[in-house]
Amino acid sequence: MAIVYDTYQRDEAERLLPLLHVGGRQRVVALHDGQSITAEQFLAHVEHVAAQLPEASAAVNLCEDRYAFMVVFCAIALRGQANLLPPSRAPHAVEEVMAAHPGCHAVGDRPMDPAPHRYHALPSLPLNAMASASIEWPSISAAQNVAIGYTSGSTGTPRPNAKSWRSLHASTAGNLRMLQNVVGEHFAVVATVPPQHIYGVEMSVLLPLLGNVQVHSGRPFFPADIATALEQMPAPRVLVTTPVHLRALVESGVRLPPLAAMLSATAPMSPELAAQAEQCFDAPLLEVFGSTETCAFATRRVTADSRWSLYHGVHLHPQPDGTQIEAPQLDAPTTLADIVSLHDEGRRFELRGRHADLLEIAGKRASLGDLTRRLLAIPGVQDGVVFQLDDADAIGVRRIAALAVAPALDEHIILDALRASIDPVFLPRPLRLVKTLPRNETGKLPRAALLELLAHHVAA
């Protein structure tokens, strides 16, 4: 077996996969600063940046402009380095990632103060740049680790996950197939999520690299800015977003240009919000299911069916403590903490919760996800989360806590409403009202930030 495996590794190391979808040198890859960037211009920019990068094994890609991120992503990969994707661009998060990769450097598209160690500002990207006519279409080794993504920290300390170029090619094939079944072969993407997040990498970086797709270089935040970005892109348009951003869009009343589809991830989409979004923007709302460890591997349209459909070649195997997944993008099966029930000969599944979210107190069971849903269902609660504390009390029970954004309510009203729908042993104590929750750029709630915010309000 060792000989066979060694041969496979050697074959993978020698196999080359294209850096860019071969769709012609004039294929539009991105809209940057109001200008359409062709594949030829993109390759010229990648060459220009790659020639200026220092020797290293890895580099933190801190570019905020999506097109700049794409250029640097490919330049780093062409130099045989890995793109380090920290859970946020906060200085301490970047420092922790760089400390775990001695000798690495960082690249960004704007001045930083303070700047990380060995920080390199991206050189200008001239819009008239053209690649040499004799340049070969670039390819890199299928086995090369081109990215190391970090989990968000919503369940603890952020963890690294290496992605080979073969793996990203395979996951992108699944995402392209999923979207093309709905919107057709060619489409344009506007994304509200940062490119450093694995969801942002998959849907706004790899799609234009490896498919006949073009992307808007910005990361619009406010509803009016999202509308403007979409207007600048040709139809059919796909909006890549999150439940948090989508709720803001719906509540703003903004008018969007015609959409072919909306795509959401990072948190479960409520059927009510999905129905509102489809009614407001007259387009199907699709969700993808995945993780930093696996990339996307399933999809659904919750207004039509609550069950998830697996991508081609993906298989799930329920385990006592989670679910084992086999997928084309994985070199070996991996186990997620999600609990699922399979249907339709294993091709669809229902999500029952996460192993870490399951609670058992005084012989009774509940899930943090369900408790959070009940909190959010209370009229007047604009945002909220229920979570379990780390330390046990005097009788060995880890208490339940909650944070809620509800300007017109007080804590007693919220607890009374919860008492009507959940068992008293799962009532959150403490429950604190806050002005806002510490959501990151993709709407997730890092556990450390929740504990810090709760401690502050309990002390106050």
Per-residue model confidence as pLDDT tens digits over 407-456:
999 999 999 999 888 888 888 888 999 999 998 877 788 888 888 898 88
Amino acid sitting at position 76 = I
The per-residue pLDDT for range 54-87, each reduced to its tens digit, is 999 999 999 999 999 999 999 999 999 999 999 8
Counted residue by residue, the chain has a size of 460
Which of 39, 48, 73, 71 minimizes the C-alpha distance to 59?
73
Residue 6: which H helix or E strand, with range? Answer: helix 2-14
The least confident of 207-216, 221-230, 265-274 is 265-274
Nearest alpha-carbon partner for 350 in 401, 296, 308: 308
Confidence of residue 134 (pLDDT cuts 50, 70, 90): low
Contact 63, 69 (CB under 8 A): yes
End-to-end alpha carbon distance in the chain: 62
User: What letter does residue 27 receive in the DSSP assignment?
Assistant: -
pLDDT category of residue 392 using cuts at 50, 70 and 90: low
Cα–Cα nearest to 256, from 243, 240, 237: 237
- Could you tell me the pLDDT band of residue 380, with boundaries at 50, 70 and 90? very high
Q: Are 158 and 143 in contact (CB under 8 A)?
A: no
How far, in Å, are 53, 61, 90, 452 from residue 116 at the CA level? 16, 11, 10, 25
pLDDT of 226:
97
The residue-averaged pLDDT of 383-396 equals: 77
Class of domain 2-306: alpha beta
Q: Residue 140 forms beta bridges with which residues?
A: 17
pTM of the entire structure? 0.82
Tens of pLDDT, residue by residue over 105-122, are 999 998 888 888 899 998
Q: How large is the C-alpha radius of gyration of the chain?
A: 23
Residue range 337-370, pLDDT digits in tens: 888 999 999 999 998 866 566 776 756 677 788 8
Mean pLDDT, the chain, whole residue set: 89
Q: Give me the mean pLDDT over the 14-31 stretch.
A: 88
Residue range 35-63: mean pLDDT, rounded: 93
Residue 131's pLDDT is 56
Q: What proportion of the chain, given as a percentage, has pLDDT over 90? A: 61
Q: Domain 362-459: what homologous superfamily?
A: ANL, C-terminal domain (3.30.300.30)
- Alpha-carbon gap, residue 87 to 78, rounded angstroms: 23
Q: What angle do CA 180, 184, 188 make, to 5 degrees?
A: 90
pLDDT value for 123 = 82
d(CA 141, CA 17): 6
In the block, which residue shows the tokens 């109001």? 34
Q: Residue 3's pLDDT band (boundaries 50, 70, 90)? A: very low
The domain ranges of the chain are: 2-306, 362-459
Is residue 139 within 8 Å of 44, Cβ to Cβ?
Answer: no
* From 133-142, 177-186, 274-283, 297-306, the region with the lowest mean pLDDT: 133-142
